Structure 1
Amino acid sequence: MRKILVVGAGQAGLQLALGLQSQGYEVTVMSNRTADEIRGGRVMSTQCMFHTALQHERDIGAGFWESQAPRIEGLGVSVAGPDGSRAIDWLGRLSDGYAQSVDQRVKMAGWMETFAQRGGQLVVHGAAVSDLDFFARRYDLVLVAAGKGELVSMFARDAARSPYDAPQRALAVSYVTGLGPRPEHPETEAVRCNLVPGVGELFVMPCLTTSGRCDILFWEGIPGGPLDVFQGVKDPNEHLATTLELMERFTPWEYARATKVELTDAGGTLAGRYAPTVRKPVGRLPGGGAVLGVADVVVANDPITGQGSNSASKCAAAYLSAIVEHGDKPFDEDWMQATFDRYWQTAQHVTTWTNAMLAPPPEHVLNLLGAAGQAQPIADRFADGFNDPADFENWFFAPDKAEAYLAEVTAG
Structure 2
Amino acid sequence: MTLSASPLRLATTQADFEAQFKARLHWSADTDAAIEQRVAEILADVQRRGDAAVLEYTRRFDGLDAPDLQALTLQPEELKAAFDGLPPAQREALQAAAQRVRSYHEAQKKASGESWSYRDADGTLLGQKVTPLDRVGIYVPGGKAAYPSSVLMNAIPAHVAGVGEIIMVVPTPRGEKNPLVLAAAYVAGVTRAFTVGGAQAVAALAYGTATVPAVDKITGPGNAYVAAAKRRVFGTVGIDMIAGPSEILVLADGSTPADWVAMDLFSQAEHDELAQSILLCPDAAYIDAVQEAIDRLLPTMPRSEIIAASLNGRGALIHTRDMEEACAISNRIAPEHLEVSSADPHRWEPLLKHAGAIFLGAYTSESLGDYCAGPNHVLPTSGTARFSSPLGVYDFQKRSSLIEVSAAGAQVLGPIASVLAHGEGLQAHARAAELRLKP
* TM-score, normalising length: structure 1: 0.28
Larger radius of gyration: 2
Q: Which has the higher strand share?
A: 1
TM-score, normalization by structure 2: 0.27
